[in-house]
Chains A and B, each alone.
Chain A
Amino acid sequence: MTTMADGIDYLHVAADILCDFLEVAVHMIVYRHDVYPSAIFESRRKYGVPTKMSVHPELNSYLQSCLCDTRTLLLARDLDRIVVAILDTSGAPITKYTFEVWLPAEPSAGGDEYLVQVEQAFREFLLKVGACDTDMEALGNCSFALQLHSTAAGLLALKNGALPWVTCETAQRLIQGDARIVPLKSYYCELFKMQLYVEKR
């Protein structure tokens, strides 16, 4: 399944860079919604744009574990979406950031072996995340959850994962009321396809 052109496994490349980006994006989203005190975030430059990254070790280790398993699913080609759900105090999602990813059968760098265009795209994703108008009501009074949309096979693959994953309940999955989709960004290249949209009321 993997491409070994030029001795590079582009599937791994795709998974790695996606996870790398997702980490940054999740931090950014969490920061944007004030899930944690802003003190634990520090400014960093990623993909050429300023971002906020948590320095809280536990949060970081949690995210890393999640992304580790995300990577596993990506490599298994069993990841459909990764969702950052902002939950209200009751645990119901009020805003969902959905990264829909798709990996081609044979990923390759195409003409972009220095990933310049990928980086450019990631930058846009991050900026869109930052610029997205959020529901200010929940600010400071919310938590977040990471949801991976996969298959049963994917769940099996995560048996030995970093985190014990559980299946989402519908209540955690769906935003109550009349939510709408705001597409933020779509990008495709020969390594992967990804689009980000926000679901919110």
Chain B
Amino acid sequence: MAGRRPRKREDKSGWDGHGGYMNAKKQKLNEQFESKECAIAAVKEGNASEIFSGITIYVNGYTEPSSDELRRLMQLHGGRFQYYYSVAQVTHTIASNLADSKIRQVGNKKIVRPQWILDSIEAGRLLSCTPYQLYAAPSGSQGTLGFQQMISTGGETKEKCIAEKLSRETGDDEKGSDSKPAKVQDCTEPATSNDGQVHDAVDSEESYDISPSPNSKEDDHADWGGERSSEEEPNVIAVKRRTIEVQNPDSPKKKPTAKAGDANFVSEYYTHSRLHHISTWGTEFRRYVTELRSAGRGEFRGAKKLQELKLCGRLASHDDPGKVIMHIDMDCFFVSVGLLDRPELVGQPVAVTHSKGHPAPSRCETGANPDYERKYWEQKCTGQQYGSRERAAENACTSSSVAAGEQDFYSRAEIASCSYEARKLGVRNGMFMGEARRLCPNLQTIPYNFERYSMVSKSLYNIVASFTHDIEAMSCDELFVDLSKLSKDVGISPLDIAQVMRDEIAEQTGCRASAGLGPSILIARLATRLAKPNGQHWVKPDEVPAFIHGQALKDLPGVGWKLGCRLKALGAETCGELQQLSLGMLQKECGPKSGRNLYQFCRGEDSREIRTDKDRKSVSAEINYGMRFTAQEEVDKFLAELAVEVCKRLKEVQSKGKSITLKLKGRKADAPVVSAKFMGHGVCDNFAKSVTLPVATDSIDIIRKESLNLLKTMKVVPSDVRGMGIQVHRLEPSTKAACPANSILNFMKKAIASTSAQVPETSSSVSMQPTSSERNCSTTLPAYQMLSVSQVDSSVLAELPAEIREEVEKEMQQAQRRKDLQEIESSELLQKVPSAGISVHAETHAKCDQKPTTRTEVTTELPNLSQIDQSFMDALPEDLRKEVMAACTEKVVHSSAKNETSKVTRRPVQGKKSSPRKTKSGASPKKHKMQKGQLTLSAMINTIQQPAQAVKSEEKHPEASVGIPSSNNNERGRVEEKNSALLPIPSLCGATGREEVRSLIKEWTDSTAEPVNEDIEMFITYLEELVGHMNLEMADKMLKYFYRLVKVQQADAWRLALHQTVESVQQTVLARYGYRLKLDFP
């Protein structure tokens, strides 16, 4: 008070120009403050405390209580008070209302309502300032809103604030003292940092309602703004009174909720899902224990401590207790860890959950039908009580759930863990929040704190491991310990050991653990039930029969809801009742294995040992949240991502699986399309399909392929997919030695990678490069064709079974040969280009000489240089490339030179698509029929003489005239094709095969009344060529065929033609062989 007025006056008198003065003044004020503090603290004897130590406040504007009062309180309770705002010193700004400009000035500092200070003093300790924040600073996970909307005002305060504002604007300096100034306060909240992160993470999978804490004074849907996580004063310990995880429902999120199908959804999901991590801890700790054991230092700090205690006489010595297993289970782990930061909640019903269970739906999905799901869950509840998670049957739960008002059903966030106080009221783990809220209206909810869980878990395991390494890790808060050896070695009663351990756990982690001891795992686990909370219970071997008799069946391992029902139908609900049943009957009812297990368990027999290195049975990845697909491709893509995730995990545990199961959740046919829970899966039908592989794998490709196949067989509409999971089971350890390339496919893939660089696009651009055609590809992997011997790891080959190895080798050799061939052929073609010209049919027309050597039917269809894919050229060997280039250029020159002389259009690719090889034979009868009703052979030829159209039926007879080494697939084709390059095969209009030529001849004779000379000459030429090409057999047969056809024709013109033909051919044969062919006709 004293400080304020002079300040104002002096400001007005112009002193403010001197910074030195202000500094001096501030210092003086501080000194005053401190001296006064002492004085007042002395006066108010006993009331003083240090709760605000480390906190410096600056009061901005009107507050209630006034700034003077606040200053007094701060003095009294160890805090500091600044008259002037200083970013460096002020930790909290106290205000009830704050103008936009002032908020900017405050920056990232916290602005807190004055009530925070009052409540903290009342509580006797520093409370978390989060609930008192005037508004939150923008957090990473949400966008910023305009401040006007965010200013939170509660009832009266608002008006006062406005009044205050107005009065200030009118320049009233005096208001500070007697009016009640609004306080703007800044408040730190160390605990939120974790939460903030969690929420960020959870955003992607879960949205939560905004809901102020029910007993908060501000029930008017105040916007608290987002969590603050960025700013944190390290030396301040604030304890939140209530944690309120809030999110403005209207605030535009920077990051919209991810949905499956978005890029990288799977990896995002798993990186962000802390729940997922927590579920993997069991495995992690198991591995941790294994590591500890293998490290095997054999030095147990805890055991030493036990011995010391014994020496001190604090622990009585004990005989060897025989086999003792201890089951340690943390008491409501999540809750007790959460309460470490919130001691004020101890003793209250507390639940750990995402949501607040806000009664009104703040975000009801349009189209969602909560009634439907409610009914569904009600039905389910009546039957099964939330399934196996529900431990003790709570009838109240069923009835209440049926009676639940609609309002209560809105929050579908599940309770992960709840305190014993809450359990007393019927709240159970796994319950929906809305339901729990109804059972226990003042249920306090706290958010997850995964870092803390992890820390506590680690120290739990470290503590236990300091006693013994005979540990079987179950999960983050549950483990079995074999105390037999320890107890025997140190000679201390297991109960004492348990007590020491539990004390140490409580001391180090602040959380309580319960311990059950018994002669077997089963009994130890059941004993923990009795021990809880925070106790221990030892069922000695002789007590087992009596103990087990009263145990409920569903507490036995392996007895879930279904089996429980079945056993109930048999009249057994407790172990004692089950003991009445015979082994045979149990086995009949439950299957041989679980029947035997049950038979033993209900007698308290459990032969299971502590397994420190338990093998995994399966590895899986499953996501049931955020699945909203629109197209099949999205589903496929998503599944592929899941496969990647599964493989990653397989590799983490160094296993390979033989069996792959695809699990699918599909929207139940009558369920609403939009689930009540945002992006949840709603009511679903579950499908699962499996496939067993011949060889265990961890290959992404195989798993992806198989999963996709499974998916195809399931035939689920993409939009109805609500969840998907891939599980790999029948695991085998993958030994490192055997897996540099762990599958043939993998190694093929590698080979492709390397070869594809070498021989790219063989099929596409350059026609002279013979390639494997489609037909071949369909039967063998294209990859196989590309392999060459050098590319195959010989060690891999050596690993293969003999037959497979041979096959691979053969395949590779062939491929190699083919490659060689290609080169030969292409080079040969290249040689021909200049001499043979492009088309040869021209020679027929020109009646050129009949020397077979010049009668090259080969048409080289080199594309222009520009048409050749540059990457292809680059991939060619240096010499080959040069040749191709040279040939292409030559072709251009050559073709232009020949253009006039050749009747045939030279442009080879004309009228064709990319590959001439694809052209079907123009000579094939069908085609001709389609083309013309009656045609002369020469006409046909004229139409087809362009090599492009001309014909080659590569399907049957690859040796066709089109000299492009055709892409033949079968090996015969290859042979012939090669030959065609080496020595031109005679053809009749492109037809070379026996049937082809025959049908062509038939066509000719059938369609034409009188043969044209030209055609006859062509035919003769063909036959003579055959003779010249050492194919008398063919010439003979064709002549005879022609003879038969002509005989049918009975036309003189044809007979003449026959005679002419025979005569010519005979002359040729005579010239070459010295004799005529033996023919039965003249």
A residues with a Cβ closer than 8 A to B are 5-6, 98, 100, 102, 104-106, 108-113, 117, 174-175, 179-186, 188-190, 193-195, 197, 199
Contacts and interface: CB of A to CB of B under 8 A. Distances in A.
Contacts of A185: 1033
The dominant DSSP class at the B interface is helix
Contacts of A194: 1030
Nearest to A173: B1074
Contacts of A102: 1030
Contacts of A189: 975, 979
Nearest to A81: B1073
Interface stretch (B82-90, B426-434, B436-444, B811-819): B811-819
A197 B821 CA distance: 32
Nearest to A110: B975
B972 interface: yes
Contacts of A199: 1073-1075
Contacts of B982: 104-106, 190
Contacts of B972: 111-112, 117
Contact of A5 (B820, B1031, B1036, B1079): B820
B766 interface: no
Interface of B: 813-814, 816-817, 820-821, 824, 970-975, 978-979, 982-983, 1030-1036, 1069, 1073-1079
Contacts of B978: 108, 110, 190
Nearest to B1026: A186
A133 B820 CA distance: 45
Nearest to B969: A111
Contact of A186 (B824, B1032, B1077): B1032
Nearest to A194: B1030
A111 B974 contact: yes
A180 B567 CA distance: 98
Nearest to A98: B1073
Contact of B974 (A98, A100, A110, A184): A110
Top 9 A-B residue pairs of the complex, sorted by shortest distance between their CB atoms: A111-B971, A180-B1078, A183-B1032, A110-B975, A111-B974, A186-B1033, A183-B1033, A186-B1031, A183-B1036
Contacts of B1033: 183-186, 195, 197
Contacts of B1074: 174, 199
Q: Most chain-B Cβ atoms within 10 A of its Cβ — which of A100, A110, A175, A182?
A: A110
Given A190-B979, A195-B1032, A197-B1032, A183 B1075 contact: no
A95 B1074 CA distance: 14
A104 to B, nearest CB: 5
Contacts of A112: 971-972, 975
A109 B810 CA distance: 13
Contacts of A179: 1075
Contacts of B1073: 98, 181, 197, 199
A59 to B, nearest CB: 28
A181 B1030 contact: no
Given A181-B1078, A183-B1036, A188 B820 contact: no
13 contacts: A5-B817, A5-B820, A6-B813, A108-B821, A110-B974, A110-B978, A111-B970, A111-B975, A180-B1079, A188-B979, A190-B975, A190-B979, A197-B1033
B817 A108 contact: yes
B1032 A181 contact: yes
A174 B813 CA distance: 48
Given A5-B817, A5-B820, A182 B1078 contact: yes
B634 to A, nearest CB: 44
B1077 A183 contact: yes
Contacts of A113: 813-814, 817
Contacts of B1075: 175, 179-181, 199
A192 to B, nearest CB: 10
Contacts of A175: 1075
A124 to B, nearest CB: 10
Nearest to A191: B975
A189 B983 CA distance: 11
A181 B979 CA distance: 26
A184 B1033 CA distance: 6
B43 to A, nearest CB: 108
Nearest to A189: B975
Contacts of A190: 975, 978-979, 982
A183 B1035 contact: yes
Nearest to A5: B820
